[in-house]
Amino acid sequence: MTEQLLLESVPLNALDRCDRCGAQAYVRAVLLNGGELMFCSHHGKEYAEKLKPIAAKIQDESEKLIESKN
């Protein structure tokens, strides 16, 4: 049950900030150790390969950037 709750996605919003630069977060990585990291689209792409082995789930909402341009 705990694992199920951990992996459920809560949408990111304007208050969620990149842990690297402070910009709006569009990527959330839920780590295997229970931690969480958030990144802007730029840093999410930069760290994507390094996150894969240590993340239980990576939630990427960077498509919101494309939607907002239309």
- The predicted-structure confidence for 52-64, as pLDDT tens digits, reads as follows 999 999 999 999 9
Q: Taking the domains of the chain in order of start, what are their residue ranges?
A: 2-63
Q: What is the pTM of this model?
A: 0.84
Joined together, the tokens standing for residue 19 give 């842990």
In contact, 55 and 32? CB cutoff 8 Å = yes
Alpha helix (H) ranges present in the chain? 2-7, 41-51, 63-69
Residue whose pair of structure tokens reads 């780590």 in the numeric block = 31
Q: What is the mean pLDDT of each run of 10 residues along the chain (70 residues)?
A: 58 98 98 97 98 97 80
